[in-house]
Structure 1
Amino acid sequence: MLTCATALVVALAAGCSSPTPDPKVPRASPSSHDGTSETPEPSPSASDTGSLGAATADLRDMDWARTAVPGDFCDVPGLISFTSGEATVRSDTHGSVHAEQYPDSVVYGDVLGDERVEAAMLVGCDTGGQTGSGRLAWAYVVFAGEQGRLRLVGTVSPRKYEGGHASGFDDIVLASGRVTVEETWHRGMDPSCCPSGKAVTVWRVGADGLLTAGEPRVTG
């Protein structure tokens, strides 16, 4: 009897012990953080065209407000889905963050050189405050439509410069084989509202159909 009781105590103690922590989820991992589901979803890639949903024949006819985007621009694993252009999600780096999308300002152009338009939608994240110092990241997410499905071409993020604040954009141009962005960045003495630095970065389409950033060129 003593032996059986001892075994029971050991089994109960093992069952109540703290589980081994899960490893940290890498950027652009397949878990969903849209606030509605814990079911893992595939991470978007050049070969996985089903992750991002259906595409219209002409992307200019898309309802971008209903489009989920990869959260890697703010270190959020998986996809971010928005309600009225906003979402509250968890970043591996920043904790709970406010994310936003701008579906009314989507930019179009034939990046892949296939005589079809690709689309770039501006997204961002911040700490939830209303000041420039709370800004964490800006990015343009570039999409293609292939076989009736959306495909991720790349997430275009501005480079990081000396000032410590999140860099932003003045302009973006989609052309054959490349995406050119005009970036704004803070010099050390700039107030958070008003970056004075200017730069241009050209992102080019590689053999895998994805965008890769070139070296930024400071212009101001």
Structure 2
Amino acid sequence: MRRVLPLVLVLSACGGPASGPRITGQTEPGPTVAVTTNPPSSAAGRALGPAPDDLRAVDWRQATLPAVFCHVEKPVRLLDGTARATSALWGTVEVFLDVDVHYGDVDGDGREEAAISLGCDNTGGTASSQLAFAFAVVTARGGQLELVGEIAATTMRDDAPHVPLLAEPQFEKGAITVKELWYRPSDANCCPTGASLTRWWLRDGTLKADPAVQVS
């Protein structure tokens, strides 16, 4: 079984990924132009299986989690951190637990939610095979693991050599802010030089994004 590598190691491989729709957020000089689309969304409130009251006790490497960000309609069951699935856009893909899990209280009920870092690739296992990254935000309610929403990238140059990365989710009551790390044409796979902040608001029971604000 393919070992899920830390993000910094995976990105050291050569090549550029086949990617899905790309969207704007940058205004920089030069011949490149960015195009616009909407990030994928998930149906909030979907039960994902039994869960303890304390989300920190969940073994996320064996959890059932959504993968709409990879255009996979149904949740996938991870086994040792990975799962094969069929993407409506890319065909056979591998969904994997990426790096770490973050915790905080977004709905203000005094109990933590979890933001699980996920990625998907075309089963190649290198940076050139990576297709998308996201955070799946879940809560425990009534003994069930329940989806709050997915946080996907909203910012990408149309000439980027690699798909954007997501990092540093910051929880507050009613919102989660994430850093999007995006690539300029001359960037190596290891080192995206662009960064934007996107705030995802908890509205109508799910997470909805405000436009990204460029920070570098």
Q: Name the TM tier (shorter chain).
A: 0.7 to 0.9
2:110 to 98, 115, 132: 115
* Alpha carbons of structure 1 residues 169 and 47: separation in structure 2 relative to 1, 3 Å: closer
Matched, 1:196 2:193: yes
Between the aligned partners of 1:215 and 1:99, the Cα distance in structure 2 is 27
1:87 to 83, 86, 93: 83
Between Structure 1 and Structure 2, the one with more helix by share is 1
Runs of 4+ in structure 1 off by over 3 angstroms are 44-48
Decide whether the 8 Å contact of 1:52 with 1:150 is kept in 2: yes
CA RMSD after TM alignment: 1.7
Count how many residue pairs are aligned between Structure 1 and Structure 2.
173
Give how far 1:74 is off.
0.4
Q: Which residue of 2 aligns with 1:205?
A: 202
Give how far 1:98 is off.
1.8
Matched position secondary structure for 2:48: coil
Between the aligned partners of 2:73 and 2:45, the Cα distance in structure 1 is 19
What are the equivalent positions in structure 2 for 1:25-44 lying under 5 Å apart? none
* Alpha carbons of structure 1 residues 47 and 191: separation in structure 2 relative to 1, 3 Å: closer
1:128 to 112, 123, 127: 123
Between the aligned partners of 2:197 and 2:55, the Cα distance in structure 1 is 26
Matched, 1:176 2:173: yes
Between the aligned partners of 1:120 and 1:111, the Cα distance in structure 2 is 10
1:64-108 Cα deviation digits (max 9, x unpaired):
222111121100120111111112221111111121014x72111
Gap runs ≥5 in structure 1: 1-43
Give how far 1:164 is off.
5.3
Which structure has the larger Rg over C-alpha atoms?
1
1:13-60 Cα deviation digits (max 9, x unpaired):
xxxxxxxxxxxxxxxxxxxxxxxxxxxxxxx74444xx3011211212
Decide whether the 8 Å contact of 1:173 with 1:181 is kept in 2: yes
Decide whether the 8 Å contact of 2:197 with 2:212 is kept in 1: yes
Between the aligned partners of 1:97 and 1:140, the Cα distance in structure 2 is 17
Decide whether the 8 Å contact of 1:67 with 1:81 is kept in 2: yes
Between the aligned partners of 1:188 and 1:144, the Cα distance in structure 2 is 38
Q: Which residue of 2 aligns with 1:57?
A: 53
TM-score (ref. length: structure 1): 0.73
Gap runs ≥5 in structure 2: 1-41
Matched, 1:139 2:131: no
Identity of aligned residues (%): 36
Give how far 1:130 is off.
4.0
Matched position secondary structure for 2:73: coil
TM-score (ref. length: structure 2): 0.74
Tell me which of the two structures has the higher relative contact order, counting C-alpha pairs closer than 8 angstroms and 6 or more residues apart: 2
Between the aligned partners of 1:157 and 1:45, the Cα distance in structure 2 is 14
Decide whether the 8 Å contact of 1:160 with 1:166 is kept in 2: no
Between Structure 1 and Structure 2, the one with more strand by share is 2
